[in-house]
Structure 1
Amino acid sequence: MHTPLPHHSDHSPATATAFRTGVVSASLSAVLLILVAVRWSPLMSLDRTVTEALHRRAVTEPGLVHANRVMTDWVWDPWTMRALVAVVVIALWWRGFRLLAGWVAATSLFSTLVQQGLKSAMGRERPEWPDPVDSANYAAFPSGHVMTAVVSCGLFLWLLRLFGAGPRLWWGACAVAGVSVAGVGFTRIYLGVHWLTDVLGGVLLGVAAVAFSVVGYAAWAARRTSGAVGLPRSG
């Protein structure tokens, strides 16, 4: 038996907020991309200052380096995040929310393609050190770890709102998401494999991807399920 789609109006305040958030994030990410591409001197100086300062600390703190490598390679690794998204997609499919499951999967896949496409197009080199504490593959901008974490956590939060999560669960999930995004961003710079702007770009692009996905789903679902009753609604 097919389960009705969770639904909220494409004219709701939440959807309007998501749209504005998407526009702002996309605009800022475009500006940042241009500044990184032209190697704007003040921004490059900030990148070097922040990254060098953290790297100098990292080489003297092997215990913290190990802890950060565990977190970035296992807990916040993009494949860990994608695996969690896959579990959620399977759960939605199993419960009958198959179109929503597909939407979540498509958003995750699309963000990965955008991320990899930008890395290839930008070709930005990662920081290089005479005494590296970690290494990474592919180009630097944007941070794949950060963008994947933002998209995954953003989708989880959206689904919780869509299905009417209670205040305790909602704020607890927000706290976990915030710590995860901030944590993975810090580890990538601390371990010397990303510049500050790589992390910022990952955040902005991830937020834009989730925000526009929310708006798109709201518009599409509103047309398909208007007039349906008893559906979960986001506030």
Structure 2
Amino acid sequence: MPLSPRLSPAPSQEARRPAPRATAAARTGTVCVALSAVLTVLVVLPWPPLLAFDRDVAEALHSTAVTEPALTRVNRVLTDWVWDPWTMRLLAATVTVWLWVRRERLLSVWVAAASALGAAVQQSLKAVAGRERPRWPDPVDSAQYAAFPSGHAMTAVVTCGLLLWLARRYGASGPTWAAGVALAVVSVAGVGFTRVYLGVHWPTDVVAGWLLGAAVVALTAVSYDRAVLSRRR
């Protein structure tokens, strides 16, 4: 019997099945949330082996920062200007406006919401954990607010992750994609190093920022795909 013009066939099981990329993003986000939750608990308790690890790494890097002023100046420029959270947020805001002008309104809103979510999560956790920053008799830099998680590290992951996600959606591949990934990895790893090297964060602050940032990007990718799918139905 022919279908009525007002009716459409029900979507098949294959159509309803999540895309492999969306499934991978969901799993990545779940793992990152779980690991960051465990790390948060260990920091809040606090767990002595974790504190000892943080102290050993932070002391080793700080001693180098004190004896290498030229390298320390380079790290301060990188952390205060190149990879500063406001630099990253300005980059994300620029992309958001670009998407809006291109009439990619839903995508623009999603990128803006992801950046805002990242900032809200990091500030909320800082208030909850209330972890003190390292204190040194001979500091080479200073920072405000609580230490856990690192806002620099988390903002870098959120921004770089969103840019890579958008680049992939717009078909980036080959040398262009490889260059983007390399730049993102250097930025994320580099800003994490500068925060510990300059003595304003513990290593686990940075790791938590990385994990939470990755979780935000994964959540953004999954929720956007579901929003697009629901609009097409």
Name 2:176's counterpart in structure 1: 169
1:205 matched to 2:212: yes
> Residues of 2 paired with 1:155 and 1:147: CA distance?
12
Name 1:132's counterpart in structure 2: 139
1:44 matched to 2:56: no
Instruction: Summarize the alignment of residues 112-131 of structure 1 with structure 2, pairs less than 5 Å apart.
Output: 112-131=119-138
Instruction: Summarize the alignment of residues 56-205 of structure 1 with structure 2, pairs less than 5 Å apart.
Output: 56-205=63-212
Name 2:22's counterpart in structure 1: 15
Q: CA RMSD in A?
A: 1.0
Kindly provide the CA deviation profile for residues 129-181 of structure 1, in whole angstroms up to 9, marking residues without a partner as x: 00000000000000000000000000000001111112211111000000000
> Residues of 1 paired with 2:108 and 2:176: CA distance?
21
- Match of 1:134, as an amino acid? D
Instruction: Tell me if the contact between 1:126 and 1:140 (Cα under 8 Å) persists in the aligned partners.
Output: yes
> Residues of 2 paired with 1:82 and 1:156: CA distance?
12
- Match of 1:221, as an amino acid? V
- Match of 1:26, as an amino acid? V
Instruction: Tell me if the contact between 1:10 and 1:218 (Cα under 8 Å) persists in the aligned partners.
Output: no
> Residues of 1 paired with 2:33 and 2:96: CA distance?
26
TM-score, structure 1 as length reference:
0.91
- Match of 1:76, as an amino acid? W
> Residues of 2 paired with 1:13 and 1:51: CA distance?
40
TM-score, structure 2 as length reference:
0.92
Q: Percent identity?
A: 59
Bigger relative CO (Cα 8 Å, ≥ 6 apart): 1
Offset of 1:10 from its aligned partner?
7.3
Moved over 6 A (4+): none
- Match of 1:90, as an amino acid? V
> Residues of 2 paired with 1:224 and 1:168: CA distance?
34
Instruction: Tell me if the contact between 1:10 and 1:215 (Cα under 8 Å) persists in the aligned partners.
Output: no
Structure 1, unaligned runs of 5 or more: 1-8, 227-235
Q: Decide which structure has the larger Cα Rg and report it.
A: 2
Q: Secondary structure at the match of 1:43?
A: helix
- Match of 2:21, as an amino acid? A
Matched residue count: 218
> Residues of 1 paired with 2:150 and 2:71: CA distance?
21
